[in-house]
Amino acid sequence: MTSAESTTDTESATTEPRRIVQRGLWFEEFELGAVYEHRPGRTVTEADNVLFTTQTMNTQALHLDAAYSEGTQFGVRLVNSMFTLSTLVGLSVAQLTQGTIVANLGFSEISFPKPMFHGDTLYAETKIVDKRESKSRPGEGIVTLEHTGRNQNGDVVAIAVRKTLVQKKPS
């Protein structure tokens, strides 16, 4: 080993590694029409459903009462659709908005074409359907996201369109 090699080894051992912080996208990085697939999915348990349902004071028997639910067209309890919506949006955060979102401006469309059941896995994807610079807030832009949730069989279980206020990339 030469002295140059040992110096390089020593220097690299004492040099701090480059740090990369996970973040969402800056306004400029959102690409119209792009579809982001958010992985991993999230398997929903009975405990998830019962906890969310009781914490939000939703006393709907379809979510809590197994005996009642046996008599419905589904034959079993359904996962609370608000849990499905929250999880759908949550699955997108790390990839799209972590640390770059200013505000969630609202939802214009929400639908649940098929129900979720205990043991189903929710997979999320997001399409960028619109973006524009904010007229009143310099350094920020409005991005419209269409979130789609599918179960493990590929069935669409939720669709939600929302507008977000996102930071522009710092100069």
Backbone angles phi, psi at 109, to 5 degrees: -145, 135
Position 8 scores a pLDDT of 54
CB-count exposure of residue 65 (10 Å: 0-12, 13-18, 19+):
middle
- Tokens (6 digits) for 13: 């051992």
What would the pLDDT profile of 63-75 be if each residue is shown by its tens digit?
999 999 999 999 9
Report DSSP letters for 5-17, one per residue.
Answer: HHHHHHHHHHSPP
pTM for this predicted structure: 0.87
pLDDT at residue 120 greater than cutoff 80: yes
pLDDT at residue 49 greater than cutoff 80: yes
Confidence bin at 20 (pLDDT 50/70/90)? confident
Backbone conformation region of residue 81, classed left if phi is above 0, alpha if psi is from -120 to 50, else beta: alpha
Q: What is the mean pLDDT of residues 165-169?
A: 97
Position 21 scores a pLDDT of 87
Share of the chain above pLDDT 70, in %: 92
Q: What is the mean pLDDT of residues 136-155?
A: 97
